[in-house]
Amino acid sequence: MQIHCNSGIMNNILIGDLPGYGTVWLHKNGIANILSLENVKNKHKVTYDSSNRNQFVVHNQDGSTCIFKQSSFGLYYLNIGKEAVALVNMVEDKKSKYTVNAYKRATIARELQRTIGRPITRDFINIIEANLLQNCPVTKQHIMIAEDIFGPDIGELKGKTVHKKTGHVNTSPNIIPEAIISSHKNVTIAIDTMFVNGIAFLVTISRHIKFGPAEMLKTRK
């Protein structure tokens, strides 16, 4: 599974069994595992009362409950401890479905795919079936096995994932409210020069309004 977050893209190969819930994807370096309330309520009864301790209560089928309390940051959490999670290596689990020779050929297929420039799987299969690589030791089946065991090639995803165009930013200025204009007819501005990597910037800050623009100076004269 690919996890998209603020720090980039992480490729995950681990799943865990969360007692009372079921199978979840897990990343060892993550600070928490997020459960969707939508998915939880489809499996269990969930109750919440803002006037009673401000917590979510998940009612399991065996009569037990899991209580999610609110943290100081506002998120609701359940601290289950490391001993409550059973990790399963997805690569090893999928590898066990195939013979030793099939796994070896799948490894060769993935290495060959990287060697010839990481074409997408569909194009790689077309190259093999068109016999464009003489004496090639792998077949379409081995490529599909490699895709099943290892998932999409990371280098291929990084190299062929295009940047998506962002939406247009509206830069039209807002009209200054009359209350601010009347309260701040006379504005005192503090001025100083700031250097960043040897480049001079004129920095100003308007008192009370706290508006602070900065502009690069071509010359300090």
Of residues 58 and 174, the one with the higher pLDDT is 58
Amino acid, res. 3? I
| Sequence spans of domains, the chain | 2-90, 97-158, 187-221
Return the minimum-mean-pLDDT range out of 24-28, 92-96, 177-181, 211-215.
92-96
| Per-residue three-class SS string for 105-155 | HHHHHHHHHHHCCCCCHHHHHHHHHCCCCCCCCCCHHHHHHHHHHHCCCHH
User: Would the pTM count as exceeding 0.95?
Assistant: no
Cβ atoms within 10 Å of 169's Cβ, excluding its own:
5
Return the minimum-mean-pLDDT range out of 47-51, 78-82, 113-117, 164-168.
78-82
Cβ atoms within 10 Å of 85's Cβ, excluding its own:
15
